[in-house]
């Protein structure tokens, strides 16, 4: 077979990466006929019957109406469906007392594409010859960020402070002293943070967010907030947190965690200049974003049904799953040296095993052989050069599962961990 001579771009984006491995495992497991697979990896949302029924019903209404012709037969503009944008503007202004207009929102083909555009818009090789980076104020961060840069060396992360808590739990906190030192380098193009955080379920406090906003304004860079799990949809936040936006913030949302990942619909809220740039990038890359997601949810937003669904069905579902996850953790890992990041949002367990004799990558391989799929932690620390053992001591688990599946998977993980912690103790 003839070997192709790929460009630097081709080589970079066709090589194996953490996110492609994750999605490959997710796809293989989801389409496997193996009934013994316990899929605790991936970020797939749960199929919530009450929410799913509502979406199916809305889709059926849409298909039977004349609007379906426009949904599947016409391109929207590069900025996205105009009616959907108008209803989003009204929803945010009415519920949060913002002052958005229709030039403040762009629709994308999922938040992954949003971040590809944003990261390469604000970082990389700049027109003045400088090289800018995206700063992650707290590691670990979303695995899908790591390979988004067209240029090399585009990300830098700050090692967090670790606050130990009762009941074998802990919480990452932003180290603002190290953050300021990084900003003083002069090579930061934007600050980016997820809230709630994937993979940990961490929700940075309102005070931390306020500090980040002030710092970003002081240094003249945008603050990008990945709000895929946050308010108002799906609203998977279980602690006190205020949704804020101003002209310096770029707020990124998604319809995926509502239970609609197949629709590939992202929402970006930003100032007019940034939205214009993102719209033009979208026009070049994809012509126009998908119309299906916006068409499906426009009426639900207009009639306030979507927020009601999030408040009364989706958020309570995940909050109950979080309580279940903590309960299982406390009962299964009772005699294991392990810590759980405090579950404040999203639907992930972040487990830290400080005394393993193997890395999380090796643990992942061992568990995969037993049909248990998790995500090893090392790929969530993009831009952190420090040889920090902690990176190889953590795993991510999706707890948006049936209790029986989660319990069985955690028991197998516990059994494997005990073997290698015993080796440490004996060694």
The closest of 163, 164, 162, 240 to 195, measured between CA atoms, is 240
pLDDT at residue 36 greater than cutoff 90? no
Contact 342, 170 (CB under 8 A): yes
CA-CA distance, 44 to 257, in Å (whole number)?
8
Q: What is the mean pLDDT of the chain?
A: 93
What is the location of CATH 3.90.1150.10 in the chain? 16-51+308-417
Task: Indicate whether 135 pLDDT > 80.
Answer: yes
Our measurement of the distance from residue 15's CA atom to the centroid of its chain's CA atoms, rounded to an integer in Å, reads 22
b vs e for 101-130, b when ≥16 Cβ sit within 10 Å of the residue's Cβ?
eebbbbbbbbbbbbbbbbbbbbbbeeeeee
- Report how many helices (DSSP H) and strands (DSSP E) the chain contains, helices first: 14, 16
The pLDDT of residue 424 is above 50 = no
- Give the CA distances from residue 244 to residues 41, 207, 232, 422, in Å, rounded to whole numbers and listed in that order: 31, 12, 11, 47
* Spatial contact of 309 and 317, defined as CB atoms under 8 Å apart: no
Question: What is the four-CA torsion angle of 307, 311, 314, 316, rounded to 10 degrees?
Answer: 180
Taking CA atoms, 98 is separated from 133, 204, 207, in Å, by 30, 21, 20
Residue-wise pLDDT tens digits, 220-240: 999 999 999 999 999 999 999
pLDDT of residue 294: 95
Of 84 and 28, which is predicted with more confidence? 84
**Residue 425 in this model has a pLDDT that exceeds 60:** no
Check pLDDT > 70 for residue 426. no
Looking at the chain, the whole-number percentage of residues with pLDDT higher than 70 is: 95
Enter the tokens of residue 156: 């830098």
pLDDT tens digits for range 180-194:
999 999 999 999 999
Tokens coding 264: 């590939």
pTM, full prediction: 0.93
CATH architecture label of 67-304: 3-Layer(aba) Sandwich (3.40)
Delimit the CATH 3.40.640.10 region(s) of the chain. Answer: 67-304
CATH top-level class of 16-51+308-417: alpha beta
pLDDT, average across residues 240-265: 96
Residue 29 has pLDDT above 80, yes or no: no
- Lowest-pLDDT choice from 58-62, 154-158, 191-195: 58-62
């Amino acid at each position: 077979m003839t070997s192709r001579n790929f460009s630097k771009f081709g080589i970079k984006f066709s090589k194996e990466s953490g996110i492609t491995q994750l999605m490959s495992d997710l796809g293989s497991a989801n389409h496997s006929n193996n009934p013994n697979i316990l899929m605790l990896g991936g970020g797939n949302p749960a199929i919530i019957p009450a929410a799913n029924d509502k979406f199916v019903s809305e889709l059926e209404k849409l298909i039977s109406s004349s609007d379906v012709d426009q949904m599947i037969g016409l391109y929207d503009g590069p900025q996205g469906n105009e009616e959907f944008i108008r209803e989003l503007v009204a929803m945010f202004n009415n519920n949060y007392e913002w002052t958005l207009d229709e030039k403040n929102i762009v629709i994308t083909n999922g938040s992954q594409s949003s971040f590809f555009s944003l990261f390469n818009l604000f970082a990389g090789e700049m027109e003045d010859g400088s090289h800018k980076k995206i700063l992650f104020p707290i590691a670990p961060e979303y695995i899908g960020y790591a390979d988004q840069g067209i240029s090399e060396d585009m990300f830098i992360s700050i090692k967090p402070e670790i606050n130990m808590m009762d009941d074998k739990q802990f919480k990452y906190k932003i180290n603002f002293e190290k953050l300021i030192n990084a900003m003083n380098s002069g090579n930061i193009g934007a600050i980016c943070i997820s809230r709630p955080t994937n993979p940990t379920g961490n929700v940075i406090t309102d005070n931390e967010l306020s500090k980040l906003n002030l710092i970003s304004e002081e240094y003249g860079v945008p603050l990008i907030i990945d709000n895929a799990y946050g308010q108002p949809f799906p609203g998977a936040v279980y602690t006190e947190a205020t949704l804020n936006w101003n002209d310096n913030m770029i707020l990124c949302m998604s319809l995926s965690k509502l239970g609609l990942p197949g629709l590939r619909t992202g929402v970006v809220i930003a100032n007019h200049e940034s939205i214009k740039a993102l719209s033009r990038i979208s026009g070049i890359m994809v012509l126009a974003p998908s119309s299906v997601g916006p068409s499906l949810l426009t009426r639900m937003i207009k009639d306030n049904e979507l927020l009601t669904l999030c408040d009364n069905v989706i958020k309570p579902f995940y909050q109950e799953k979080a309580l279940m996850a903590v309960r299982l953790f406390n009962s299964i890992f009772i005699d294991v040296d392990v810590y759980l990041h405090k579950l404040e949002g999203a639907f992930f367990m972040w487990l830290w095993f400080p005394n393993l004799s193997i890395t999380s990558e090796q643990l992942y391989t061992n568990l995969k052989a037993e049909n248990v799929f998790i995500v090893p932690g090392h790929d969530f620390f993009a831009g952190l050069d420090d040889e920090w053992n902690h990176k190889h001591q953590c795993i991510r688990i999706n707890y948006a599962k049936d209790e029986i599946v989660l319990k069985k998977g955690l028991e197998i993980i516990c059994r494997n961990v005990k073997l290698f912690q015993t080796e440490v103790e004996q060694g």
